[in-house]
Amino acid sequence: MKDILLIWDIDGTLIDSKGCGRRAMDRAFYKLFGIENGFKDVKMAGRLDALIVKDAMDRNNVADGDLILFFNMYCQMLEDEIVRGRKPEILPGIKEILERREICYRLYHVLGTGNIEQGARLKLSPHNINRYFPVGGFGDEEKERWQIIQHAIEKAQEYTKINFKKENIYVIGDTPLDIQCGKILGIKSIAVATGSHNMEELTRYQPDYLFPNFGDTDRFFEIFR
């Protein structure tokens, strides 16, 4: 029986966060530095939280910003957004994919995301799906995105005690950066157009598999047979 590792992005792939992350970052930036709309024009899709915040600090001339202090405030604001604001919505097919068990192979799910871990867990908490992702790679530090995915693979192998074959490892995401990670690491990529990039845009980067969404779960599982 094959052991298959699926490395999942979060925003635009597992959930539609409804902007809660950006709002929480803006609120934290204002609380700490007195600057409104600190993340205006800062690109977020597919990027690491640590790099996003550093970018905002540079754009707003915040020379002495402390990332740890910022992320502590951000998580407070994010939790408040989720409790009081618009909660993230789980995207089509995701619950079914996570809950399904196959007889021909074993699936293992981990996270590979630019979110810091605490922020990632908060975003997934309203739908009780953190339990499917025991480990992952996260954007707490300033790294390249492919290094986050590599870290997710290492954590998965350490957790499961399985040495996954490269042909059985898939990175799943909604941005060209996720596809590029697959190519850099020599693993397969599954792209989905439920985020900020449409099918045509994602096609240009030549993912191994491409979906408009994951509503057709049977087609999704055909990949691994």
- What is the residue extent of each domain of the chain? 2-16+90-222, 20-84
Residue whose tokens read 């157009």: 193
Query: Six-digit token pair at 166?
Result: 């490269």
Q: What average pLDDT values come out for the chain (225 residues) when binned by 10 residues? A: 96 94 94 90 84 90 87 96 88 96 89 96 96 95 87 98 98 97 98 96 98 97 93
Amino acid 44: pLDDT: 83
Amino acid 142: pLDDT: 63
Amino acid 159: pLDDT: 98
Query: Six-digit token pair at 206?
Result: 């030549």
Amino acid 46: pLDDT: 73
| Count of C-beta atoms within a 10 Å radius of residue 43 | 11
Amino acid 77: pLDDT: 96
The DSSP output letter for 11 is B
Amino acid 85: pLDDT: 74
| Count of C-beta atoms within a 10 Å radius of residue 158 | 10
In CATH, what is the architecture of 2-16+90-222? 3-Layer(aba) Sandwich (3.40)
Q: Which residues of 4-19 are buried (b: 16+ CB within 10 A; e: fewer)?
A: bbbbbbbbbbbbbbbe
Q: How far apart are CA 143 and CA 146, in angstroms?
A: 8
Confidence (pTM): 0.93
Which DSSP string corresponds to 178-200?
HHHHHHHHT-EEEEESSSSS-HH
